Structure 1
Amino acid sequence: MANPKSPSSSDAAPDLSILGNRLTILPPGVSSAPELPHDPETSPEQPLLTSYARFRSSPIDFLREVSLHVSGTGWRSYDTFIGQDIFYNGFSERMRGMVMQSPQLLRKIEELAKRRVDVEISEGMFKAERNAGNAGMTSEKRRREIEGQLKEVAADWTDKMICKMESRRFIRGAYYLCTQLVTRAYHQGIHVSSEEVLRLRAVAEQAAKKNQSIIFLPCHRSHVDYVSLQLICYRLGLALPTVVAGDNLNFPVVGPFLQHAGAMWIRRSFGEDALYTTLVQSYIDTLLQNGYNFECFVEGGRSRTGKLLQPKFGILSFLLDSVLSGRVKDAIICPVSTQYDKVIEVDSYISELLGQPKPKESLFSFLSSSSILSLKLGRVDVRFHEPWSLRAFVEEQRSRIGSLPRQMDTSYDTTLKRRLLTTLGYKVLADINAVSVVMPTALIGTVLLTLRGRGVGKAELVRRVEWLCERVRGQGGRVAHFGGLPTATVVERGLEVLGPNLVGVVEGLPEPTYYAVDRFQLSFYRNMTIHLFVSEALVSAAMYTKVKRGGGPENQKMGYQELYDYTFFLSQLFRAEFIFPTMPLADNLSKTLQGLETDDVITTTQDRDGKVSTIELSASERARGQENFDFYCFLIWPFIEATWLGAVSLLMLTPPATGPSLSPSATKQSGSEWLDLKQVQDRAQLLGKTLYHQGDLSYFEAVNKETLKNAYTRFEEEGIISVSRSRDSKVPAKVRLDKEWMPVRDAQRAIKAEGKLWEFCESISRSRREGKNRRDGATVRGRVLGLVELVGGPLWEVAGAEGRSSGLVEGEERKRRARRKPMQTKARL
C-alpha cells in the first residue's frame, strides 16, 4: 500500500548524476543519464576507458585533459567553494600550533607532569634535603622537564594526526584520479538528490557566515563511502570535510595521499592514554571552533552484513563534549546514506564473516583490489538528511531530562552524558535509514532469498520486485528511480550487476529461471532492506510458532498476550542486531498489526472493549499460499537461526565430565573454568557449519561471525555468561557460564536436555523454520548435544594444557608484575 506521505515519482525532485567530468540534472524518476550512441568520446558508461584510450591513441589529448585539472581551468579551479579557507601554505603548521596551544591540552600536560613527579617523590627518587625550598626547586625542575617531554610527544602525534589539505593543485589532481577510479568501477556514476543538495548548500552558506562546521555522519559499507562524499563536495562547491580514519590505512604512499586529501589519522584504540585522548579532543575542538567541516562514521567500522551496525560512541563523544563544555557554540549535523548497486569489498567481507582473518591493509592489496579492476558495478546513490543543530538537539534533550546542567565539564554526571550520547547515536542511524534508497540489486537479492523453492521464473521475479517496491514505499522507504524503464529491464540490469557468481540462471526451460548461487553473499543485499520490515518480521515469527503446528485456521489462532510476550522476547533477543523504532512495544505492535491487517496478511478479532484478542492469517493470505507472510518470516529466520546457534554453543562452556582439573580460583567462583572468548566463538562457528551440513541448521549464513558476536553480547547483557576483559589488548578476553545457567549431566555423564539454558534454546527454537531440511525431536536433541561435546572438547583440552585460570586473576598478577618494575626517570606516557 502506498504511503500517502511519500511523493510519487512525478512529484519527486530530480536527481543529479555525477559521472566523470559531467554533472547532469535528471528529470524526476529517471535512473540514469540519457543513453547516448556508443562512442568512446561520449559513452556515459566508459569515462575511464575513454581516458585510457586517449592515452594510447592520442597522448597529447590525454595530457591536455590532465593539465586542465592540475591548472584548475573552469569549475576545476575549486576557488569559490562554500566554507572556510583551508588551501594555503602554512595551513598545517597553523593548525598544529592551535592544537598545541589548546588550554585543555596544556592543562592535561601539566596535570600528567605533576602526577608523575608526585609518584617519583613517593618512590624516593628525590633525596631528602634539609632545606625544603631546595627540594621544591628540584621537583619543579623535574616537572618542567617532564612537561617538555610530553609537549614533544604531543607535537609529534599532532603532526602525524592532522590532515594537511594545503594545495589546491593536489586536490584537483586527486579529484581527477579518484573520479576516474570510482567511475570505472561504478559506471553509472554517483547520484544525489537535487533537492537535498540545494538544501545542503543553503545550510552550508548560513553555517559559513556563523563560522560553524557541518559534521557529516555517513553510514559505512565501503572505502568508497568517504571518496564519494569528497567527490560530491568538490563537484558541488562545498568545503571538503576532514575525515576521521583509522591509522590501519596509513600505509606507505596511500597514507600520505589520503592525509593531504583530508584524512586525519587516529588509533583504533586509545586505551587509557590520557594524553592522546586529550589531544584528539583538542584537535576536534580546534576544527569545530574554526568552522571546518568534519566527517566520521557513526558505526565506527564498515558493515560486513549490509545493514546498519549499532552506533560507536568514541568520536561522537568528542563532538558532543565540544558543545556540552561550551568550547564550541554549535555545529550542524548532517546524516548521510550511501547505497551501492554492488559493494566492492563484499567478497572479502564474506571471508571475514566465515572466520578467516582480516588481511592487513597494504599498498599491494589496495592496487590489486576489485575497486581498480572491476567494471559495471552499477551506481552509487548518496542521500543527505535534512541537517540539524547539535546545540538545538542538546537543548531539546535537556528540556526532556530536566536536570541536565546548562554547561558541563568532564566531572558532570556521566550517566546523563551517556543518555545524551546514546540518543544522539540512534537518532543519526534513524535519520540515515529514513533517507536510504533501496537499490535494484537489493530488491532482487531480497526477493530471491524470501521465496520458497530452488528458483524463480523471470515473470514471477519481476512481479515480486514490483510487489516489494510497493511494500518499501508503504513503509516510508525510497526506491531508486527507474524512470520510464519497465521493471523487467531494471531487473535485467540488476542481474547483470550481481553477476553469475551470485545469481545463476537455468537455461533450456520455458522461461529463464533464476536461483541464488551464493546465498551468503546475496544476504548482504537483502540486509539493505530489512530495517524497513523488522517489526513485521518479528510479529510474523511470533505467529509462526502457531502456524508451524498446522491443523487448520482455528488451531493457528494466537492470543494477543501470547503474541505480545513472544514478540517482546524476540525484540530483546535482537536488541544488539537491529535499529528498532523508539516507540513503546505496545504502540509499535498495535501499529504493525494494523498495517498487516490493512495489507490483508492477517485478520484480528476484538473483544467487547475493542482491544485485539486474537490474531490469525487472513483467508486471502492463505489463498495466496502465505507468500507475504512467508516473506517476513524469511527475512528474520536466518537471524533466529544464528541466535539459536549462539545459545546452543554456550553448552560448550559446560565443564567436561572428565578432563582437566579445575583451578581453585575457578572452582571457588562458579565451578567452571574461564575459556578464551575468541576461541569459543570460533568453535561456535565450527559447530554451526557442522549442524548446517548435517541438516540441523537451515541457513548457512547463521554461522556469520558478526551475528554470533552480537548474540554473545546480548547473552552477556542478560547475565547468561560472564566475560572478563583485560585492559591490556594483548590479553584475550575470557568467558564462562553463569552458575544459574550451568547445565547438568546425567548418569552417563552426558549433558541433559533440560535446565535454564536448554529452555532458553528451546524458546528461540519455537520460531525457527520447520521444513524438510530440519526436524525437532529427541534424536535431533541427542545429535546436537553430542556435537556440542565433540566440538567443545578441544577448548577444555587447551585450557587444561595451558593451565589457564581466571582472566581476573591474570589481570591482577599482571598489575603486580608492573608494580615490581623499577621506576624510570624518563616520563612514561
Structure 2
Amino acid sequence: MKPNGSPDNNGTPETTAPATTAVNDVTNIPVFENEESRDIIRANFTHFREDPFSFLKQVSLHYSGAGWRGYNNIIGQPIYYKGFSEQMKAQVMNSAIVRKKIVQLAERRVEAESSQGLLRESHKARRREDVEKQLVEVVDGIVDGMICKFESKRFIRGAYYLCMQLLARSYDQGIHVSSQEIQNIRRIATIAAEKKQSIIFLPSHRSHIDYVSLQILCYRLGIGLPVVVAGENLNFPLVGQFLQNAGAMFIRRSFGGDELYQSTVQGYVDTILKGGYNFSCFIEGGRSRTGKLLQPKFGILGYVLDSLLSGAVEDAIIIPVSTQYDKVIEMDGYVNELLGIPKQKENLWDFLSSSKYLSLKMGRVDVRFGNHWSLRGFVNEFLVKTQSNPDLVTTPKSDVRSKMLKNLGYKVLGDINAASVVMPTALIGAVLLTLRGRGVGKEELVRRMDWLSDRIRAKGGRVAAFGGLRTEEVLDRGIVVLGDLVGRIEGLAEETFYAVDRFKLSFYRNMVIHLFVSEAIVAVAMYTRIKQGGGIANQRMSYSDLFNQVTILSELFRGEFIFPTEGIVINLHTTLKGLEKDRVIKIEYNDKQEIESVELTDEERLCGRENYDFYCFLIWPFIESAWLASVAIIALTPPPEFKDVWVPVKDTHAMAQLAGKTLYHQGDLSYFEAVNMESLKNAFQRLEEEAVIVVRKSKTGKNPPVMKLSEEWLPQRDPETGKIIPEGQLWKFVENIAICRREGKNRRDSASVGTRVLTLVEKLGRQLFEATAEAKRIEEEDAEVEIRTGRKRRRRARL
C-alpha cells in the first residue's frame, strides 16, 4: 500500500494499514494512526528469483544513493567524508588527557632510570624527549586500531544494503520500531544537533545483531550513526575492517592497569562527545546468555561520566534501547558456554559459516527506544539528593562518583526493562516452562498466553503487536520460529505441545522474569508454608515470617535481578496488594490495619494454583542455582593436609557445575538449567560479597584468581571420621535457601543436603584440592628447573 504522494513504498510494509497521518520528508516512512510498530526493512527486500526487475531497481537506487539512501543531510554532525579518521585521530592524540599522561609516564621513566644510576643529570632532558616520542608512537598505534573510520558514503550505502538483505532473509518478519518513536527520535536528534550534543544510545545486549540493528535504524531514519563500542575479539581479518568502517570502536576486554591505554580511551570518548557525535555502548558489557538483563558494567560508562565531570563535555542525551528477538542466532553457542564448553574465538570461518541461519525463519526483531534524559540533569539531581560537593566527584576513585555511576547504570537498566516488548516466543517459553505436567493442549496454551499477556500489560509492560492477529495465529508463528525447541504430539484427542529442550527454552522464559520477580519471590517465600500441606490455617503465613524470607531471597538475588528502587518494605506491600487484587492471595489485617498474615484465596485453590504456580516456576531454577553454588562451597572445606591451599576460581566453578549435572541426573536437582555457568557465577559473586568466600586476584593479572572459604564460615570436621559435620553458619545459609526449593520425590526438608549430596561434594572437593596441590608442585618444580638452567647459562657465559 503506497501513501499518497509517495513515488515508491521505500520502507512501507506491503500490508493494509490505517490512514496515513504524516510522511517524513527525508526517510519516506509513513506514520499511521493507532499503530504500535512498523517494519522498516522488508519493503526494501526482494528475491531476484521472485522479481528480478524490482531486485535490480533496488540495487540501482542504493548504488546511486537516491533519496534517503544517499545518507545526505543527516541529522547530526558531519560524518563519512575523506579525512574524517585522520581528523579524529589528531584530536585524540592532542587531547589534554593523553598529552598529560605521556608527559607523566616519560618523567616517571626518566626518574626511574636516574635513580638506578643509568642516566646522567645532563642527559635527562634529551632522554625525556626520546621517551615521549616513543610513547607518541605507541598512542598512534592504539588510536589507529581503536577508532572508527567514517570515510566513504558509498561504503556505508553498500554496507546498509548488504546487512538489510541478510537480516531480511534470517529475520523474515523484519525489524520493527514504534511509529511514534520514529518521530520522537528524529526530534531529539534535531535538538541535539543544534546544541552540538551527542546522543548516547545504551542498548541491551543479547546478540551480535544488536550492533547491526541500531546502525540500520539510524541510517534508515537519517540520523548520524553512533560510534559503537565493540570488543577487540571482533577485530579479526576482513570483518574487523568492515565493522570499523561501519562505526565500531574496538577496545580491549581488560586494560590491565595500562595507564596510557586508559588515557587514550578517555581521550577518544572526550573527543566524540565534545564533537557532538553519537555514541553507543552496551550497558551489560557482554551479551546475555540467559535471556534476561545482566548487571551493569561500569567500564565505558565510567569514561562517559568522567567526560562530563571533568568539564570536557557540557551535556549529552541518554537514550536506553531495548532489542528483543523472536529467536537469537547465537543460541547454540550460548548453550555450550553455559554448560562449561570454552567459548570459541571469533574468526572469519565462523562468521561465514553462520550463513546457515540466513535460510531460517527466525521471526522478527523489535527495537524500542526508552525515554530520553539529560546526563547533566542526572548528575545535578544526584548531587542535590546526596547533598554532595561537585568538587568531590571529579576524581575516578571518589566514593560519590562510584555511587553516582552505580545509580546511572541501574537507572538505564530500569529504563530498558520499561521500554522492552515481550515477543511471542517469550510468551510460549514462559507458559510451557511454568505448567505442571508433560505437555499442554493448544486451547489451554492459548488461554495461558492470553492470561500472561494481560498480566504483562497490567504490570506496565508491553507485548509485541501483531496487527490484530488472533492468539492462535501468533502461537502458530511462534512455534514455527522456535522449531525443534517445542514438540507437537498429533493423533491425540487434542493437539498437544511440550518443551523438548528446556535449557534453550529457558532463554525465552527469562525475557519476562523482570516483570514478575517481586511476585515470584513472594510466592516461593509462601511456598515454605504451603508445601507443608494440611488445612488452610496450617498454610497461612504470618507477615513477619514472610518479610524475613523475602528479605533473605532479595539479598540472595541482589546480583541476579533488577529490583524496584523503592525499598523492600514498599516493594513488598505493593506486590502483596497486586497479588490480592488478582485474587491470588488473601491478606488478613489486625486492629491497626497492619498486615498480619497472607494465604492463598479459595479461587486460586479451586483453579489448581495455576497463577501462583506460574510465579514459583519462574524463579525455582534460580533458587536451584543458588542452592547448588552454596552446596559446592561446602566442598571447599579443606582436608587437614590441604589446610592452607587456595583453589582456582575457574576450577571451583567447573566443580560446582559438574556436581550440578550429577545431582540432576541422580534426581537431587530439579532443573537442568540451574547448572548454567552464568547463574553459578552470579551466585559465587554474591557469596564473595557476603564474605562467605575470599577471592585473591593477581596484581599483574598473569596468575588466575584463587579462592577459599572464610574462617568464620568454615564447617568443622569430625576428628575421628574426618567427615564434615552438618552444622554451623554455612549449613544454616544452605538451609535458608533449601526450604524454598521445589520439593522433589527424592528429597524432603529434613535432609536438604542429604547424605548423597554431601558425600558427592566432599569427594569433588578432595579431588579439587589434590589437583590444585599437584599443579602447584609441578609449577614449583618447573620454576626450580628454570632457575638451575639460568645458572648454567650464566656460568657458560662467564667461561
- What TM-score do the two structures reach when normalised by structure 2? 0.92
CA contact (8 A) 1:214 1:293 kept: yes
Question: How does 1:279-358 map onto structure 2 within 5 Å?
Answer: 279-358=264-343
* Separation of aligned partners in 2, 1:773 and 1:15: 63
Structure 2: distance between partners of 1:61 and 1:656: 74
Q: Please name the residue that 2:507 is paired with.
A: 524
Contact 1:247 1:265 in 2 (8 A): yes
Matching residue's letter, 1:218: P
Query: Are 2:46 and 2:54, in contact at CA under 8 Å, matched by a contact in 1?
Result: no
1:335-734, aligned counterparts within 5 Å?
Answer: 335-369=320-354, 372-405=357-390, 409-410=394-395, 414-499=398-483, 501-656=484-639, 661-662=641-642, 671-734=643-706
SS state of the match for residue 337, structure 1?
A: strand
Q: One-letter code of the match for 2:462? A: R
- In structure 2, give the amino acid aligned to 1:361: E
RCO higher in structure (CA 8 A, sep ≥6): 1
Q: Distance in 1 between matches of 2:572 and 2:757?
A: 34
1:215 to 197, 200, 203: 200
One-letter code aligned to 1:636: I
Call closer, same or farther: CA 1:513–1:281 in 2, change over 3 Å.
Answer: same
Cα distance change on mapping 1:450 and 1:477 into 2, 3 Å? same
* Aligned counterparts of 1:370 and 1:564: Cα–Cα separation in 2: 52
Residue 496 of structure 2 aligns with an amino acid whose one-letter code is T
| Cα distance between partner residues in 1 of 2:76 and 2:86 | 20
**What do residues 323-349 of structure 1 show as CA deviations (whole Å, max 9, x unaligned)?**
011110000000000001111111110
Q: Is the 8 A contact 1:433 1:531 kept in 2?
A: yes
Q: Deviations over 1:354-385 (max 9, x none)?
A: 00000110011011115753421111100001
Q: AA paired with 2:533? A: G
CA separation of 1:70 and 1:797: change in aligned 2, threshold 3 A: same
Amino acid aligned to 1:741: W
User: Structure 2: which 5+ runs fail to align?
Assistant: 1-17, 787-793, 795-799
* Shift of residue 672, structure 1, vs aligned partner: 4.0
Aligned CA distance change for structure 1 residues 114 and 761 (closer, same or farther; 3 Å): same
Alignment of 1:35-74 (within 5 A): 50-51=47-48, 65-74=58-67
- The offset of 1:687, in angstroms, is 0.2
Superposed CA deviations along residues 586-606 of structure 1, whole A, max 9, x for unmatched, are 110000000000000001111
Q: Give the root-mean-square deviation of aligned CA atoms.
A: 2.6
Candidates 34, 59, 66, aligned match of 1:28: 34
Provide the C-alpha distance between the structure 2 equivalents of 1:779 and 1:169, rounded to a whole number of angstroms. 65
Of residues 99, 102, 120 in structure 2, which corresponds to 1:106? 99
1:273 aligned partner? 258
**Cα shift at 1:144:** 0.7
1:763-778 matches, cutoff 5 A: 763-772=736-745, 774-778=747-751
Secondary structure of 1:334's aligned partner? strand
* Identity %, equivalent residues: 57
Displacement of 1:749 after TM fit? 1.8
1:372 and 1:642 map into 2 onto residues whose CA distance is 32
Q: Is the 8 A contact 1:339 1:382 kept in 2?
A: yes
How far did residue 777 of structure 1 move? 4.3
CA distance in 2, matches of 1:408, 1:560: 42
Moved over 6 A (4+): 12-18, 30-34, 44-47, 804-807
TM-score, reference length from structure 1 = 0.89
Match of 1:131?
none
For residues 519-578 of structure 1, the C-alpha deviation after alignment (integer angstroms, 9 at most, x for no partner) is 000000000000000100000010000001101110011111110011000000001100
- Give the C-alpha shift of residue 584 in structure 1: 1.2
1:84 to 73, 77, 91: 77
Counterpart of 2:13 in structure 1 is: none
Match of 1:115 in 2: 108
**Letter matched to residue 589 of structure 1:** L
Partner deviation per Cα, 1:6-58 (whole Å, 9 max, x = no partner)? xxxxxx9999999xx99565653577779xxxxxxxxx97975613666xxx5
Bigger mean CA deviation after superposition, 421-430 or 798-807: 798-807
Q: Is 1:750–2:750 an aligned residue pair?
A: no
* Inter-partner Cα distance in structure 1 for 2:459 and 2:20: 22
What one-letter code is carried by the residue in structure 1 that aligns with 2:325? Y
Aligned length in residues:
764
1:405-434 CA-to-partner distances (Å, cap 9, x unmatched) read 2585437x6100001000000000000000
CA distance in 1, matches of 2:334, 2:306: 34
Q: Deviations over 1:445-478 (max 9, x none)?
A: 0000000001000000000000000110111000
Letter of the 1:84 partner, please give it: Q
Task: Determine the C-alpha separation between the residues in 2 that align with 1:434 and 1:157.
Answer: 38
In 2: Cα distance, 1:650 partner to 1:170 partner: 54
Deviation at 1:190, TM superposition (A): 0.7
Q: 2: distance between equivalents of 1:557 and 1:211?
A: 61
1:698–1:175 CA distance, 2 compared to 1 (3 A): same
Instruction: Indicate conservation of the 8 Å contact 1:337/1:384, yes or no.
Output: yes
Decide whether aligned partners of structure 1 residues 487 and 779 sit closer, same or farther in structure 2, where only a CA change above 3 A counts: closer
Contact 2:44–2:58 (CA under 8 A) maintained in structure 1: no
CA distance in 1, matches of 2:518, 2:259: 43
Relative distance call for 1:321 and 1:16 in structure 2 (3 A) is: farther
In 2: Cα distance, 1:51 partner to 1:330 partner: 48
Q: Match for residue 86 of structure 2?
A: 93
For the pair 1:785 / 2:758, whether they are aligned, the reply is yes
Deviation readout 1:144-203 (Å, 9 max, x if unpaired): 110010011101111111100111100000000000011111111111111112111111
What is the Cα deviation at residue 403 of structure 1?
Answer: 2.1
Rounded to whole Å, the distance in 2 between the matches of 1:643 and 1:488 is 37
- Secondary structure at the aligned position of 2:763 is classed as helix
Deviations along 1:281-311, one digit per CA (max 9) or x if unpaired, are 0011001111000010000000000000000
Structure 2 letter corresponding to 1:654: T
Mapped partners of 1:804, 1:478: distance in 2: 58
Q: Report the CA distance shift for 1:405/1:68 in structure 2 as closer, same or farther (over 3 A).
A: same
Verify the 8 A CA contact 1:219 1:299 in the aligned structure 2: yes
Distance in 2 (CA, whole Å) between partners of 1:545 and 1:779 is 13
* Residue 728 of structure 1: how far off its partner (Å): 3.2
- Report the CA distance between 1:700 and its aligned residue: 0.3
Partners of 2:38 and 2:177 within 8 A in 1: no
Equivalent residues of 1:17, 1:25 under 8 A apart: yes
- 2:117 match: 124
Q: Secondary structure in 2 aligned to 1:369?
A: helix
Q: CA deviation at 1:74?
A: 2.1
Structure 2 counterpart of 1:140, from 110, 125, 139: 125
* Partners of 2:599 and 2:21 in 1: CA distance: 43
- Secondary structure of the 1:803 match is helix
SS of the equivalent of 1:51 reads: coil
Deviation digits for residues 610-638 of structure 1 (CA, Å, limit 9, x no counterpart)? 00011111111111111111000000100
Amino acid at match of 1:173: G
